[in-house]
Amino acid sequence: MCLAACSSQPELSSVDTAGSMEDKTIFLEEFIHYLKYPLIVYRREPAVERVMDFVAKFVTSFHNSDSEEEDEMDEENSPVNYLFNFLLQSHVANSMAVRFRVCQLIYKLLVNLPENALIDDDLFDKIHDAMLIRVTDRVPNVRIQAVLALARLQDPSDVNCPVTNVYLHLLENDVNAEVRRAVLSCIAPSARTLPKIVGRTKDVKELVRKLAYQVLAEKVHIRALTIAQRVNLLQLGLNDRSEAVKEIMQKKLLQSWLKYTEGNVLELLHRLDVENSPEVAVSALNAMFALSSVSELVEKCKNVDERKLIPLDTLSPENVLYWKALCEYFKSKGDEGEAALEQILPEPAVYVEYLLSYLRTLPVLSEEERADMTKIEDLMTKAFIGQQLIHIIGCLDTSEEGGRKRLLAVLQEILIMPNVPTSFISSLVEILLGIQKDDDRRILNVAEIISELREPIVTVDNPPDVAGSRRLQLKIAEVKVQLNESKQALEDSINAQDFSRASELKEKVAELEKLKAQLIKEAEEPELKEVRIEKNDPETLLKCLTMCNELLKHISLTKGLGGTLNEITQSLILPGITNVHPSVRNMAVLCIGCCALQNKDFAKRHLPLLLQISQLDEVKVKTSALNAVVDLLLLFGLEIFSKLDGAENPQNDPEEAEEPAETEESDSNKAAEEEAEKDASAVNGILTLFSEFLDSEIPEIRTETAEGLAKLMFSGRLISSKLLSRLILLWYNPVTEEDTKLRHCLGVFFPIFAYSCRTNQECFAEAFFPTLQTLFNAPASSPLADVDVSNVAELLVDLTRPSGLKQKSKTAPDYQVSGDCKSQISQQIWLVQTQHAASM
């Protein structure tokens, strides 16, 4: 290489005189001769790279010349065309170095040509066809250079552009990440290519994802993306496992979008549709907050007035979400954030009055109004604003006793307001219980609210009292008589000019007139009285059950079910199980599950009910019941299936006590055996039920069952190689390919469970044979027939390797167990292969 560079020095010195050469063909031939030396070097040597750059700039400099001599030159012998023709003849060389350098030089030549440069049509077609061939080269570096060379040959306006088609194909199918990155850097964004560019944000390689976000930030306007695409990009980018990708998302794409909205954060939030994706919007706000200091954020908060509140008439989903996100961000910043909170939030007593005044404006739609989508959307918007205002309560300083008491009082008042949506109840009760720490006070407060909500005081007409009405009429008649007599006496006194007497009678007439009017009013107005009326409408029941559920989730498990909770259970929760509305039944099931966690006897009595619901009700209610059963098994174990304590057993007959001791002992042993058989049958029954749920066609049931079994196995409550084999088959089954939650759950569970202890690895070893046997015996019509058996075997072998154990023991017995696992697996592999060969 050094010799080639030296020998080329005389030729390089002829650059200044090249233009004056009469026969430029000789110069170009010599130039190509010396160019062949660096073309055969595949490594990215700095010297060779500089030569490539020099060649590209030198040759294209002639294209920029406007001299007459250049114009008179034969076009075919121009340096640019001459070099292009040589390179196009060489791109099919056997040497990958030559193909690589040829594509690289073509790319550099095209890049160095001016934007308004014109290329002969034939030459353009030759370059186009040659590079389309090279993008299929077996060497990734050649494909990369070919991709770069095609960048200036694409036509985004042409729907059938061959270059765009090739780019899209490579973007989706090329196995090399650097090739995909090259395509991303070159492809022109358009309505056709944009979805594919967005799709690369899910690429398996960090560098590709990072470049995809960078391309979107630099080349794509926010308006070119749909709302769904914007939200999806934020969700993926801000939650990416790579910090580099998160940084690009935070500092490039978000800032680019903010630039397009002229720095208006609220406008950006409006473009994200915060009502349907508040979590993503908050994540984006937190990412933007992290780029500024706390003091700068306080200065930028222009929405609040001198009261440190947003005026009710200017509240919008965007500004209230920004306010809430900023308060929560300051709350997470410790002392500095607490000081900043005091500048954007008022005292608790002031804020809750503000919240109460807003919630009172929430409308209650009639049946006719519910058919008007405009009014429904308006109510949903107001409900969203109210929800965010409720969340801000968590940022208030409740250390002062007066403010805390007022806050508790207003929260209780809000909870019994009829126009408060059911979606608010959970958040409100959670805040209420967070402020009130004592469990007894919590139970008492929630019970009072439930009582006020379900049995409100209303004013009703009192049934008419005939005797009382008759007495009232007689009283009116008596007053009328007295009034007439007084008026006559008044007239006589005036005629007799007894003015003192007349004055007294005038006052008496006025009193009788007033009494008459009062009695007539009482006779006309119905008698009203205040009574409590029990409400059983679905909305009220759902609100009450939601309060119970939140209460049961917050009180200590050691608290137990006292008198108040037992009364609520009997009067509200258990009747809710039979309600016709699924949402009410679902919340009742959640409450029963929480009650069962408080009391083992209650759990035993209601476990059959939960199992029945998990098989017969709607999907959502089924999954709630199934989760409740799993929670009970996690807390109490399989012993929950044993018979209740002796308090519920029938009392012994006095005559039986007189029988011989031998008979008693024999009967006792027999009864114990029967009880053990019943318990074993019950356990086998629920395991069979779980196994049936794994075969369910409903993805939610299948997923919740698999997750529950994983929890039970990992906690040591259940060890079953058969169920473990079922989980392995479920993980590999193509039917569950779209169930990301299931795949993720089992993918995390298998290695953690296997490597936690040696016993679990033995369980995997026992599951090895049934798993492979099922796969080999799967009929052709079964989805399991498409599973790669060798991949399953490799996984199981990896999960049983002793080096993966977190706490390796150096004792001989442990290593002996590992040897047994290996031997057992080897025998099972041989047996499965033998049986499979025999069946074939």
Measured in degrees and rounded to the nearest 5, phi and psi for residue 288 equal: -75, -35
Q: How confident is the model at residue 671 (pLDDT cuts 50, 70, 90)?
A: low
Confidence of residue 226 (pLDDT cuts 50, 70, 90): very high
Are 137 and 99 contacting, i.e. CB atoms less than 8 angstroms apart?
yes
pLDDT digits (tens, 9 = 90+) for 584-596: 999 999 999 999 9
Residue 32 shares a structural domain with residue 117: yes
> Of 130, 153, 176, which marks where a domain is finished?
153
Domain count of the fold of the chain:
3
Residue 675's pLDDT is 59
Which of 224-238, 302-316, 619-633, 702-716 comes out lowest in average pLDDT?
A: 302-316
Q: Say if residue 149's pLDDT is above 60.
A: yes
- Single out the residue of 38, 85, 78, 77 nearest to residue 60, CA to CA: 78
Report whether 85 contacts 102 (CB < 8 A): no
> Residue 542 burial by CB count (10 A; 0-12/13-18/19+): exposed, middle or buried?
buried
Handedness of CA 700, 706, 708, 710 (dihedral sign): negative
> DSSP class of residue 461?
E
9 and 145, same domain (yes or no) = yes
Residue 324 is assigned to a structural domain of this protein: yes
Place 336 in a pLDDT band, splitting at 50, 70 and 90: confident
pLDDT band at 784 (very low <50, low <70, confident <90, very high): confident
Confidence label for 826 from pLDDT (cuts 50, 70 and 90): low
pLDDT-derived band of residue 462, with 50, 70 and 90 as boundaries? low
User: Residues 422, 298: one domain?
Assistant: yes
State both tokens at 171: 């973007």
Average pLDDT estimate for 523-537:
68
- Name the token pair of 796: 């199981």
Q: Is the pLDDT at 789 greater than 60, yes or no?
A: yes
Whole-Å CA distances, 478 to 231, 344, 469, 474, 502 = 81, 69, 14, 6, 22
User: 551-604, pLDDT tens digit by residue?
Assistant: 999 988 888 888 889 999 999 999 999 999 999 999 999 999 999 999 888 998
Listed in sequence order, the DSSP H helices in 569-649 are 574-576, 582-598, 600-616, 619-636
Cβ atoms 309, 264 nearer than 8 A: no
Confidence of residue 644 (pLDDT cuts 50, 70, 90): very low
Q: What was the pLDDT predicted at 424?
A: 92
What is the 3-state secondary structure of 239-296?
CCCCHHHHHHHHHHHHHHHHHHCCCCHHHHHHCCCCCCCHHHHHHHHHHHHCCCCHHH
> Phi first, then psi: what are they for 576, rounded to 5°?
-65, -20
Q: What per-residue confidence (pLDDT) applies to 829?
A: 56
Model pLDDT, residue 646 = 39
Q: Is residue 717 part of a domain?
A: no
Domain stop point among 390, 415, 435:
435
Stretch 768-782: mean pLDDT? 87
Helices (H) and strands (E) in the chain, counts: 43, 2
Q: Which H, E and C letters describe 33-44, residue by residue?
A: HHHHHHHCCCCC
Structure tokens given for 736: 């569950």
What are φ and ψ of residue 14, in 5° steps? -90, 5
Angstrom CA distances, 194 to 171, 190, 201, 687, stand at 12, 6, 12, 49
Whether 73 is in a domain gets the answer yes
pLDDT at 783 (0 to 100): 86
Are 24 and 106 within one domain?
yes
Calculate mean pLDDT across residues 480-490: 81
| Mean predicted confidence (pLDDT) in 264-292 | 92
Q: For residue range 297-307, what is the model confidence (pLDDT) as tens digits? A: 988 887 888 88
Of 169, 194, 192, 189, give the one whose Cα is nearest residue 179.
169
Q: Mean pLDDT score of the chain, rounded to an integer? A: 82
Whether residue 296 lies inside any domain: the answer is yes
6 shares its domain with 149: yes
Residue 11 belongs to a domain: yes
Q: Predicted confidence band at 550 (pLDDT cuts at 50, 70, 90)?
A: very high
- Per-residue confidence band for 673, with pLDDT thresholds at 50, 70 and 90: low
Query: What pLDDT shows up at residue 638?
Result: 81
Residue 457 has pLDDT above 90, yes or no: no
Q: What is the distance between the alpha carbons of residues 358 and 352, in angstroms, rounded to a whole number?
A: 10
Residue 146 tokens read as 């070919």
Identify whether residues 143 and 8 lie together within a single domain: yes
Contact between residue 783 and residue 744 where contact means Cβ atoms under 8 Å apart: no
389: amino acid identity, one letter: L
Angle subtended by helix axes 499-524 and 466-495, to nearest 10: 160
Q: Among 501, 525, 549, identify where a domain stops.
A: 525
For residue 457, the SS3 value is strand
Quick one: 477 and 413 in the same domain? no
pLDDT tops 50 at residue 701: yes
In this structure, are 129 and 14 located in the same domain?
A: yes
pLDDT over threshold 70, residue 650: no
**What's the pLDDT score for residue 8?**
39
Encoded tokens for 427:
């958040």
Low-confidence winner among 135-139, 518-522, 743-747 (lowest mean pLDDT)? 518-522
Tokens of 643: 């018979």
Q: If you average pLDDT over residues 198-208, what whole number do you get?
A: 93
469 with 431, same domain: the answer is: no
Query: Residues 326, 294: contact at Cβ < 8 Å?
Result: no
Q: What is the pLDDT of residue 630?
A: 92
Whether residue 412 sits in one domain with residue 366: yes
Which positions ≥6 away from 414 have C-beta within 8 Å? 355, 356, 359, 420, 424, 428
| Strand, coil or helix: 557 | coil
314 and 424 share a domain? yes
What value, to the nearest 5°, has the Cα angle with vertex 361 and ends 358 and 367? 145
Distance CA 586, CA 627 (A): 12
How do beta strands 528-532 and 457-461 pair?
Answer: antiparallel
How does residue 674 score in pLDDT terms, banded at 50, 70 and 90? low
- Residue 50, CA distances (Å) to 38, 45, 56, 107, 318 in order: 10, 9, 10, 15, 54
Q: Look at residue 812 and tell me whether its pLDDT is greater than 60.
A: no
Average pLDDT score over residue span 788-816: 71
Give pLDDT, residue 32.
82
Q: pTM, whole model, 2 decimals?
A: 0.77
Residue 247's pLDDT band, with cuts at 50, 70 and 90, is very high
- 611 is a domain residue: no
The pLDDT assigned to 73 comes to 47
Residues of the domain holding 79: 2-153
Q: Which of 13-17, 43-47, 147-151, 167-171 has the lowest mean pLDDT?
A: 13-17
Contact 433, 442 (CB under 8 A): yes
Same domain, 8 and 144: yes
Q: Using 50, 70 and 90 to split pLDDT, how confident is the model at 816?
A: very low
CB atoms within 10 A of CB 411: 22
Any domain includes 232:
no
**529 has a pLDDT exceeding 50:** yes
Is there a domain that residue 471 lies in? yes
Q: What is d(CA 133, CA 119) in angstroms, rounded to the nearest whole number?
A: 20
535 strand-pairing partners: none
